[in-house]
Amino acid sequence: MKLCRWIVVLALMGAATAVTAQDLKSPSADQYVPRLGDIMSAAQTRHQKLWLAGKAQNWELSAYELRQLKASLVEAALLYSGIPVSNVTTLEPALQATSDAIAAKDGRKFAKALGDLTEGCNACHRSMGRSFVVIKVPADPQPFANQLFAPPARP
């Protein structure tokens, strides 16, 4: 049953990275399983970094951060059966729209797609009885003052 859940989530989320049979095994009792809050904190960090990279029009970094965000969402759904698969899969249109905007290098579409993705996150939180966790499109890059978000200069 758990393997089926993993396959459904991966298929519906369109996981772009290679997945091996080892990745699909349930963690054993002696393996570390991150707490859901830690996975979601990583997702929140990726969300902010995605916005910062998109705002700076660093589309390569934006694509990377989107993949990392998607991986966090898939990980949460796979490791925590209390999260309905439908909650994660309903984010797919917003994730795809964000990916499409990045591929098109379109800042306006990116901003709209990220807003839709952010609302999707909040809808999931509300459906899980966690409406007190509200994500917003970032307004201040201060937490990541140690990283440059502009694309590197090309020689």
Q: What is the pLDDT of residue 21?
A: 42
More confident residue, 83 or 30: 83
Q: At residue 38, does pLDDT exceed 90?
A: yes
CB-CB contact of 54 with 110 (8 Å): yes
Q: At residue 20, does pLDDT exceed 60?
A: no
* Portion of the chain with pLDDT greater than 70, in percent: 77
pTM of the entire structure? 0.77
Residue of 89, 47, 86, 37 lying closest to 69 (CA atoms) = 47
Residue of 140, 151, 137, 124 lying closest to 44 (CA atoms) = 137
Q: What is the mean pLDDT of residues 5-33?
A: 56
Q: What is the pLDDT of residue 82?
A: 85
Convert the pLDDT of each residue in 71-98 to its tens digit: 999 999 989 888 887 888 889 999 999 9
Q: What is the mean pLDDT of residues 20-32?
A: 59
